[in-house]
Amino acid sequence: MLRQLAEGELTVLGRVSTASNVALLGHVTLPDADPVRVMYKPIRGEQPLWDFPHGTLAEREAASYLLSATYGWDLVPPTVVRDGPYGPGSVQRWIGDPLVPGAELTDVVDVFAVGAVPDGWLTVAAGEGRGGHDVLVAHEDAADLRSMAVFDAVINNSDRKGSHCARDAGGRLWGFDQAVTFHEEPKLRTVLWGWAGMPVPKLDLDRLAALGEGLAPSGRLSDELATLLPALDVVALRRRVRTLLAQGKHPEPAPGWPSIPWPAL
């Protein structure tokens, strides 16, 4: 899959009009493989951000995939940084298709009327609907989604909206748009606060321990991340992993920074 994403012929099919940065739907083809549908985000289409260096989002997406795939989270679709019709950018396997029956994605974060949050869901925020009525934002209380909350704390995800995580037709959980991540300053902003302050499950503690070892300054992972992230971002990543292991708990919202992205969904 990674070889096809990196080396296949990239053809653009259209643009995702709701994305804040240029996001292009396309496919990559190799002579010996079926086409793979992808999301291509050229660096030249990034909108400048006040708190992230311009032109670095593609590499942050790839770094998120690297950690997810290497340490067992397996939440981020295969992602590479490569050249394309509109210059270098991230190319990520496209998950789901609302136009194909049986390939739709299922929400794991949603808005409910007060008193209507289903069993097995955790309420994280209250708000007001378009008609002025009270609503609640809630997410599934599921083990894989809980692992995503740990993963987001590791990568310092500043934009875990409800639409940035969903289940495919087979029930597998995926996370999308991990572009504003890995900053040297704490920037965790997410809708997955249902486990805040609770102990991190052992499976994720084991992943964190393995990641901590892999992040040794002389290790291969550090060398790979050095090609994708600023040096201070890698230093901060090591610090976050050590803190999560030492505390053994899911982070809680911190003062001085919005805890939930806007829009939340």
β-sheet bridge partners, residue 134:
128
β-sheet bridge partners, residue 244:
none
- Provide the domain limits for residue 118: 106-140
Task: Tell me: do 134 and 145 sit in the same domain.
Answer: no
**Would you say residue 147 lies in a domain?**
yes
Per the structure, the count of domains in the chain is: 2
Task: Tell me: do 82 and 171 sit in the same domain.
Answer: yes
**Would you say residue 261 lies in a domain?**
no
Task: Tell me: do 147 and 132 sit in the same domain.
Answer: no
Place of tokens 């790979």: 224
Task: Tell me: do 84 and 164 sit in the same domain.
Answer: yes
For the segment 190-246, what is each residue's pLDDT rounded down to a tens digit?
999 999 999 999 999 999 999 999 999 888 899 999 999 999 999 999 999 999 999
For residues 167-192, give the mean pLDDT: 95
State the Cα torsion 141-143-147-148 to the nearest 10°: -50
Under DSSP, the state recorded for 45 is G
Cα three-residue angle 44-227-45, rounded to 5 degrees = 10
Task: Tell me: do 224 and 199 sit in the same domain.
Answer: yes
CB atoms within 10 A of CB 21: 17
Asked whether the predicted pLDDT for residue 75 surpasses 90, the reply is yes
Task: Tell me: do 172 and 130 sit in the same domain.
Answer: no
Asked whether the predicted pLDDT for residue 122 surpasses 70, the reply is yes
β-sheet bridge partners, residue 88:
none
Record the pTM.
0.94
Predicted confidence at residue 262, as pLDDT, reads 86
Task: Tell me: do 129 and 217 sit in the same domain.
Answer: no
Task: Tell me: do 173 and 242 sit in the same domain.
Answer: yes
For residues 10-34, give the mean pLDDT: 91
**Would you say residue 112 lies in a domain?**
yes
Predicted confidence at residue 255, as pLDDT, reads 85
Contact 125, 177 (CB under 8 A): no
Task: Tell me: do 7 and 135 sit in the same domain.
Answer: no
Cα three-residue angle 23-29-35, rounded to 5 degrees = 80
CATH of the domain at 202: 1.10.510
Predicted confidence at residue 33, as pLDDT, reads 85
